[in-house]
Amino acid sequence: MPSRKFADGEVVRGRWPGSSLYYEVEILSHDSNSQLYTVKYKDGTELELKENDIKPLTSFRQRKGGSTSSSPSRRRGSRSRSRSRSPGRLPKGARRSASASHQADIKEARREVEVKLTPLVLKPFGNSISRYNGEPEHIERNDVPRKNTQEKFNLSQESSYISTQYRLRPRREEIRLKEMDSKEEKFVTKELAVRTFEVTPIQAKDLEFGGVPGVFLIMFGLPVFLFLLLLMCKQKDPSLLNFPPPLPALYELWETRVFGVYLLWFLIQALFYLLPVGKVVEGMPLIDGRRLKYRLNGFYAFILTFAVIGTCLFQGVEFHYVYRHFLQFALAATVFCVVLSVYLYMRSLKAPRKDLSPASSGNAVYDFFIGRELNPRIGTFDLKYFCELRPGLIGWVVINLVMLLAEMKIQSRAVPSLAMILVNSFQLLYVVDALWNEEAVLTTMDIIHDGFGFMLAFGDLVWVPFIYSFQAFYLVSHPNEVSWPMASLMIVLKLCGYIIFRGANSQKNAFRKNPSDPKLSHLKTIHTSTGKNLLVSGWWGFVRHPNYLGDLIMALAWSLPCGFNHILPYFYVVYFTMLLVHREARDEYQCKKKYGVAWEKYCQRVPYRIFPYIY
């Protein structure tokens, strides 16, 4: 079935037939045979338009002055009421900014348009109007269109009328209008560029994470919180009643050699990243249409890392060093992350505006946190992409292994405990999955929306390896025996979470990669004005963020092997729920901005965000 770009009920801009001027219209319906959209102007006029004559609202909103929206009648009212319906007038914003010659062209063309094109105002198409009832009747890919013969007849009559009118247009005028179109298009593109790169600061109300005070608090609070957690976990009785934990001496926190080992780790991962193995893929299109190239070799880096670690273990290298200096490693990573964030911010000041992230605001503190530059690169070395999945994520598995060895050593075990094996294998599966599906990271918010600043640097390089390994760290000094029946239940829970998580992520990634993939043809979709559609059945018809649901179920499965003696190992579940609920709200906000009415319809069809029947 041929695809359509705009959904019923969507508010877009429709070209007034025979002119190059666009007005705000609502899409009423779409005829798949004639490929014409029935649209309604603000003054109630209904017309059928070709897809080429419709543009998303956003492309116009970008204009300076931004006031292009008025109905033909409203504009008519502001001048002469006796004028023809043909709204041969420029949108306000365009009028203000267009060059004199452009204005002259348009004036001249307008005269022609007004004289030659009057009878295009079609009376409402009887049934075709009543067909619209606010419900997405034809928007779903797999719905059978429900139209009666009379409607078809009316539509084909009307569409043939319109096409006749188009054909009757004199050739000279056609050429002129084409020229006008291309001029306007260039003008809009230029204006868009100006607006995108010059008017980047976002309104204070749009700042996320509580704005400047919020990010300030996070930047100071999170590292302190991390150290308090690790210190709590080191206590014999990590009960909340024993809060705050005794503070360590400075030498227990900092050792330059540890910092050196951390740097070495980072450099080795950078070296693996540079290896010319693995396929090269293109990322999502950037604001200027470019697509950056990314090499997918995370999984190879993981194999190589463990080949090196295996060799080191065989050679008798003492990995207990990492456990003994765990706090120092956490501080080394934090210091490195601060230095990296300062570097990222400084270099972003020289970055061209087109390279700034859509999340940046113009406020130095906020931008230091959220990241100013979207894809900071040194040559082809993409710093954000590298940090997302390499030093921190692979580091997490290495730390888990260190904890497993430490448990055996400290508890004098010949083999690791079942609880430790469960935690290690559950989390290993998660990391291997992320690296195996590395390409999926290219469509995440982190890559396409957030800049690279303190938030991602700290998250990727400090929080992930030192907090996500918390259960294994806890088990080293707080053993918990797990029975096989309990272990089986935990495995089932983990697998359920994984199936939902992987199923949802793969379904969306496959759909984004190839929306007409035959394997996905059974899924229903909602059309949006951006050209991208939204899945409304399958995993994405279950809740609006099924991948988060799966992730949270897995998080619970990771904590259960630690038993119920203390709340501390469940910190991850609580924190992760808060993170994903907040992230979901951020994503909803972005999607609503991106997809407008179509997103609202999706929310009506799929009312729950993460937890079915709860939230």
Cα–Cα distance, 24 to 476 (Å, whole number) = 64
Asked if 445 interacts with ligand NDP (CB under 6 A), we say yes
Give me the least distance between CB of 477 and ligand NDP, in Å please: 25
The footprint of ligand NDP on this chain (CB under 6 A) covers a number of residues equal to: 21
Q: Which residue's CB is nearer to ligand NDP, number 4 or number 508?
A: 508
Give me the least distance between CB of 508 and ligand NDP, in Å please: 5
Longest dimension (CA), the chain: 96
Give me the least distance between CB of 530 and ligand NDP, in Å please: 8
Query: Of the ranges 111-119, 377-385, 443-451, 476-484, which one interacts with ligand NDP (CB under 6 A)?
Result: 443-451
Asked if 501 interacts with ligand NDP (CB under 6 A), we say yes
Asked if 349 interacts with ligand NDP (CB under 6 A), we say no
Closest CA to 369 of 446, 464, 447, 457: 457
**If you search the block for the tokens 């992520």, which residue do you land on?**
505
Q: Using an 8 Å Cβ cutoff, are 56 and 26 in contact?
A: no
Distance of CA 390 to the CA centre of its chain: 20
Q: Which residue's CB is nearer to ligand NDP, number 177 or number 534?
A: 534
Q: Which residue's CB is nearer to ligand NDP, number 440 or number 568?
A: 440
Label residue 43 exposed, middle or buried (CB < 10 Å: 0-12, 13-18, 19+). Answer: middle
Q: Which residue's CB is nearer to ligand NDP, number 118 or number 514?
A: 514
Give me the least distance between CB of 577 and ligand NDP, in Å please: 11
Q: Which residue's CB is nearer to ligand NDP, number 18 or number 371?
A: 371
Asked if 95 interacts with ligand NDP (CB under 6 A), we say no
| x/- letters, 595..614, toward ligand NDP (CB under 6 A) | -------x------------
| x/- letters, 545..564, toward ligand NDP (CB under 6 A) | x-xx--x-------------
H or E stretch covering 535: strand 534-535
Query: 391, 587, 609, 610: which one contacts ligand NDP (CB under 6 A)?
Result: 587
Reduce the DSSP state of residue 586 to 3 states and report it. Answer: helix
Give me the least distance between CB of 391 and ligand NDP, in Å please: 15
Report how far apart, in Å, the C-alpha atoms of 541 and of each of 7, 487, 500, 595, 609 are: 18, 32, 13, 17, 10
Binders of ligand NDP among residues 16 to 75 (CB under 6 A) are none
Asked if 385 interacts with ligand NDP (CB under 6 A), we say no
Token pair in block for residue 385: 């992409």
Helix ranges, 349-417 (H):
364-370, 383-389, 391-410
Residues with Cβ within 8 Å of residue 52, at least 6 apart in sequence = none
Residues with Cβ within 8 Å of residue 582, at least 6 apart in sequence = none
Q: Which residue's CB is nearer to ligand NDP, number 54 or number 431?
A: 431
Asked if 460 interacts with ligand NDP (CB under 6 A), we say no
Query: Of the ranges 161-169, 216-224, 500-508, 607-615, which one interacts with ligand NDP (CB under 6 A)?
Result: 500-508
Give me the least distance between CB of 15 and ligand NDP, in Å please: 27
Q: Which residue's CB is nearer to ligand NDP, number 86 or number 528?
A: 528
Asked if 444 interacts with ligand NDP (CB under 6 A), we say yes
Asked if 505 interacts with ligand NDP (CB under 6 A), we say yes
Token pair in block for residue 65: 């002055």
Cα–Cα distance, 400 to 149 (Å, whole number) = 67
Give me the least distance between CB of 445 and ligand NDP, in Å please: 4
Asked if 437 interacts with ligand NDP (CB under 6 A), we say no
Asked if 363 interacts with ligand NDP (CB under 6 A), we say no
Binders of ligand NDP among residues 527 to 546 (CB under 6 A) are 532, 534-535, 540, 545
Residue nearest to ligand NDP (CB): 444
Asked if 591 interacts with ligand NDP (CB under 6 A), we say yes
Q: Which residue's CB is nearer to ligand NDP, number 303 or number 579?
A: 579
Binders of ligand NDP among residues 510 to 529 (CB under 6 A) are 511-512
Cα–Cα distance, 445 to 374 (Å, whole number) = 11
The 3-state DSSP composition of the chain as helix, strand, coil percent (nearest 5) reads 60, 10, 35
Report how far apart, in Å, the C-alpha atoms of 455 and of each of 370, 460, 498, 521, 577 are: 6, 8, 26, 38, 18
Q: Which residue's CB is nearer to ligand NDP, number 389 or number 405?
A: 389
Residues with Cβ within 8 Å of residue 390, at least 6 apart in sequence = 269, 270, 272, 273, 298, 301
Cα–Cα distance, 31 to 36 (Å, whole number) = 5
Report how far apart, in Å, the C-alpha atoms of 55 and of each of 39, 116, 188 are: 12, 24, 12
Query: Of the ranges 138-146, 210-218, 374-382, 585-593, which one interacts with ligand NDP (CB under 6 A)?
Result: 585-593
Q: Using an 8 Å Cβ cutoff, are 75 and 87 in contact?
A: yes
Cα–Cα distance, 384 to 106 (Å, whole number) = 47
Q: Which residue's CB is nearer to ligand NDP, number 438 or number 551?
A: 551
Report how far apart, in Å, the C-alpha atoms of 366 and of each of 286, 343, 513 are: 22, 15, 33
| x/- letters, 302..321, toward ligand NDP (CB under 6 A) | --------------------
Q: Using an 8 Å Cβ cutoff, are 71 and 11 in contact?
A: no
Give me the least distance between CB of 541 and ligand NDP, in Å please: 8
Enumerate binding residues for ligand NDP (CB under 6 A): 443-445, 501, 505, 508, 511-512, 532, 534-535, 540, 545, 547-548, 551, 583, 587, 590-591, 602
